[in-house]
Amino acid sequence: MQPLKELKRRLREEALARRDALEPQYRIEASLSVAETGAAAIACGPGDVVSGFWPIRSEIDPRPLMDTLRQKGARLCLPAILDKTTIVFRELVRGAPMVDMGFGTMGPAEDAEVLDPTIMLVPLAAFDARGHRIGYGAGYYDRAISKLHAQGLSPRLCGLAFDCQEVERVPDEPHDMIIPELLTESGLRRFAAGL
pTM, whole model, 2 decimals? 0.92
pLDDT digits (tens, 9 = 90+) for 128-170: 999 999 998 778 888 899 999 999 999 999 999 999 999 999 9
Name, of 54-63, 99-108, 165-174, the range with top average pLDDT: 54-63
DSSP state of 14: H
pLDDT of residue 1: 47
DSSP string, 108-169: E-TTSPB---SEEEE--SEE-TTSBEE-SSS-HHHHHHHHHHHTT---EEEEE--GGGB-S-
The sheet with strand 75-81 has its strands ordered as: 87-91, 75-81, 49-51, 119-122, 156-160, 181-184, 187-190
185 falls within a domain? yes
74 falls within a domain? yes
- Kindly report the CATH number assigned to the domain that includes residue 105: 3.40.50.10420
* Binding site members: 8-12, 59, 133-141
Pick the more confident residue, 186 or 5.
186
53 falls within a domain? yes
* Binding site members for substrate: 59
Q: Check: CB of residue 112 under 8 Å from CB of residue 96.
A: yes
| Residues in the chain, total | 195
pLDDT of residue 193: 63
Please give the biggest Cα pair distance in the chain.
51
195 falls within a domain? no
Q: Kindly state the average pLDDT of the residues 20-29.
A: 97
Whether residue 194 is predicted with pLDDT greater than 60 in this model: the reply is: no
Q: Check: CB of residue 156 under 8 Å from CB of residue 118.
A: yes
Q: Where in the sequence is the domain holding 83, given as residue range(s)? A: 4-190
Burial 54-68 (b: 16+ CB within 10 A, else e): bbeebbbbbebbbeb
Whether residue 195 is predicted with pLDDT greater than 90 in this model: the reply is: no
116 falls within a domain? yes
* Binding site members for ATP: 8-12, 133-141
Q: Number of folded domains in the chain? A: 1
Pick the more confident residue, 83 or 60.
60
173 falls within a domain? yes
As a whole number of angstroms, the distance between CA 135 and CA 139 comes to: 7
pLDDT category, 60, cuts 50, 70, 90?
very high
Residues 6+ apart with CB under 8 A from 4: 171, 173
